Amino acid sequence: MELPVRVIPCLDVAEGRVVKGVNFLGLQDAGDPVELSRKYYEQGADELTFLDVNATVDNRSTTYDLVTRTAEQVFIPLTVGGGVRSADDVARLLGAGADKVGLNSAAIARPDLIDEIADRFGAQVLVLSLDVKRSGGRFIVTTHGGREDTPIGALDWVIESIERGAGELLVNSIDADGTKAGFDLDLISAIREVSSVPVIASGGAGSVDDFAPAVRAGADAVLAASVFHHGELTIGDVKRAMADNGIRVRS
């Protein structure tokens, strides 16, 4: 039996507010995270993701507080990413009410961090987030929200991170992010081929018809931000469109 495809709204948060920009630039205020989380929960979201887009040591307490207030009201899984640099950061987020943590740049800088987190909390808490773009005919991993390239091939990084203990992959296409032109289907299917863990597709959703192709390309879950925040689409719209395409969703 097949699991229903999860629909996950992502809230990019900064200083306790939701923000969204195009290609990670020009951030705009898009609302109150707790209020939006409750709305998505009521619409049938399968999980929630918070991404702290400018996490620094100074403003972490704002994020912990936000996570706690959300987890008190919304009884679905909550993943929190952004600024996670140590296993102790993970312990604090889980303690605040997060179920999973997203790990990105810090894992690229020090891959052993993946092993440390998986050994202490289990692979199932660790969502490895990759910001991927095309470069020189292949997919490479970028850092700093897509602004800086690395020499690391995305597929090599996926294989290594799963071996080290990543429990899930959040694959964000920098090329597609914010364009609303649809998910990067080549990227999703390339990652699916080498991944033994669930794959969450992210970046590029613009209409209800964009989601089913991502699932056919191999996504176990689909993630989007701005189309939900601006009220263009509801979670229900996306699920109905997928169901009409023969894809199993949780009603």
Partner 1 sequence: MSGPSVVVLDYGSGNVHSAAKALEEVGARVELTAVPARVAEADGLVVPGVGAFAAVMRALEAVRGPELIDRRLAGGRPVLGICVGMQVLFERGIERGEDTEGLGQWPGVVSQLESDILPHIGWNSVEAPDGSVLFSGLRDERFYFVHSNAALEWVLPPDGPLPAPRLTWSQHGGRFLAAVENGPLSATQFHPEKSGQAGLRLLANWVATLKGD
Catalytic residue IDs = 12, 131
Among 27, 76, 87, 243, which residue sits at the site for partner 1 (rule: CB under 8 A)? 76
Neighbouring residues of 77: CB distance < 8 A, sequence distance ≥ 6? 46, 47, 48, 99, 100
Q: What is the DSSP pairing of strand 221-224 with strand 78-81?
A: unpaired
Least Cα distance to 8 among 206, 177, 222 occurs for: 222
Q: Extract the tokens encoding 15.
A: 């200083």
**Binding flag, residue 131, partner 1 (CB under 8 A):** no
CB 158, CB 195: distance < 8 Å:
yes
Among 50, 121, 211, 228, which residue sits at the site for partner 1 (rule: CB under 8 A)? 121
Q: Extract the tokens encoding 191.
A: 């990652």
**Cα distance between residue 107 and residue 15, in whole Å:** 24
**Candidate segments 11-19, 68-76, 223-231, 234-242, binder of partner 1 by CB under 8 A:** 68-76
**Cα distance between residue 250 and residue 174, in whole Å:** 29
What sign has the CA pseudo-torsion 25, 198, 208, 133?
A: positive
**Candidate segments 98-106, 141-149, 150-158, 224-232, binder of partner 1 by CB under 8 A:** 98-106
Q: Which is nearer to partner 1, 107 or 125 (CB)?
A: 125
**Binding flag, residue 198, partner 1 (CB under 8 A):** yes
Q: Which is nearer to partner 1, 19 or 214 (CB)?
A: 214
Among 65, 88, 119, 186, which residue sits at the site for partner 1 (rule: CB under 8 A)? 119
**Cα distance between residue 5 and residue 215, in whole Å:** 8
Among 56, 112, 136, 196, which residue sits at the site for partner 1 (rule: CB under 8 A)? 196
Distance in Å, CB of 10 to partner 1, minimum? 16
Q: In the complex, which residues of this chain contact partner 1 (CB under 8 A)?
A: 1, 3-4, 6, 41, 46, 68, 71-72, 75-77, 94-100, 119-125, 167-168, 196-198, 220-221, 250
